[in-house]
Amino acid sequence: MSKGKEDVIVFQQTDDQELIKKLWKVYLDSFADSDDYCAQDQLCYDEITLNEAMKDNDYWKFILLVEGEPIGFCLLTNNMRKARIAYCNDRFFTKKFPKFISEGRFYYVTAICVLPEMQKRGVGIKLLEEVCKFIYENKAMVSYDYSETKNPWLTQIIQRCGRKFAPNSEIFLGKQCYTSLYYDHNGVPD
């Protein structure tokens, strides 16, 4: 259970440097443990590109506040060229969902995170619900990728949050495998 009052604010553009600095810290801290789990870098923004995204109308910002302090956020874009920052193939999506994409009704999640010390207290759910509400109300769809090694439970949670507004379905889009080869003869790599 969370302590304190949570709120999610949604906007498309901010130039508030203090807020942006806090969000950069939230982003870095939230993904710190991904270096123990993820072969794919989960930090697709650096401080400069996150700053640019915050000022860019093509990204919708969902900011999770507890007692007025930002402790999590989600970024969504329906500009497929800009979604590429999260290592997705915009040509694949454009072939697969041409109508939704041309109508601006396809959104990609380029970041979602909650500060580690605030995780697993039921606050991230508020963020996910707000994103699902946005998708539902805009007659849109949302796509995202995540590390199954690190977050095997994520899709079930998102679908559950989405069901708060209406029944929803998943279109599974594939898996990327990271693996390796070595010769026993040369010893186990470390």
Ligand X SMILES: CC(C)(COP(=O)(O)OP(=O)(O)OC[C@H]1O[C@@H](n2cnc3c(N)ncnc32)[C@H](O)[C@@H]1OP(=O)(O)O)[C@@H](O)C(=O)NCCC(=O)NCCS
Closest CA to 60 of 104, 27, 103: 104
Residue 31 interacting with ligand X (CB under 6 A): yes
The single-letter DSSP state of residue 73 is E
Residue 2 or 14 with smaller CB distance to ligand X: 2
Shortest Cβ distance from residue 37 to ligand X (Å)? Answer: 9
Distance CA 134, CA 59 (A): 13
Residue 84 interacting with ligand X (CB under 6 A): no
The two tokens of residue 56 are 């860019």
Using CB under 6 A, which residues numbered 96 to 155 contact ligand X? 112-114, 119-125, 146, 150-151, 153-154
User: What is the sign of the dihedral through the CA atoms of 5, 74, 150 and 94?
Assistant: positive
Shortest Cβ distance from residue 62 to ligand X (Å)? Answer: 11
Residue 9 or 184 with smaller CB distance to ligand X: 9
Strand order in the sheet with 141-143: 6-11, 59-66, 69-77, 106-114, 141-143
For ligand X, the nearest residue by Cβ is: 124
Angstrom distances, CA of residue 163 to CA of 110, 148, 168: 22, 22, 6
Residue 103 or 170 with smaller CB distance to ligand X: 170
Residue type, 186: N
Shortest Cβ distance from residue 64 to ligand X (Å)? Answer: 8
Residue 20 or 75 with smaller CB distance to ligand X: 75
Contact letters for ligand X, residues 32-61 (x by CB under 6 A): ----------x-------------------
The two tokens of residue 153 are 């439970």
Residue 99 or 175 with smaller CB distance to ligand X: 175
Shortest Cβ distance from residue 152 to ligand X (Å)? Answer: 8
Which stretch of DSSP H or E encloses residue 106? strand 106-114
Residue 91 interacting with ligand X (CB under 6 A): no
Distance CA 12, CA 171 (A): 27
Binding site for ligand X (CB under 6 A): 30-31, 42, 112-114, 119-125, 146, 150-151, 153-154, 157
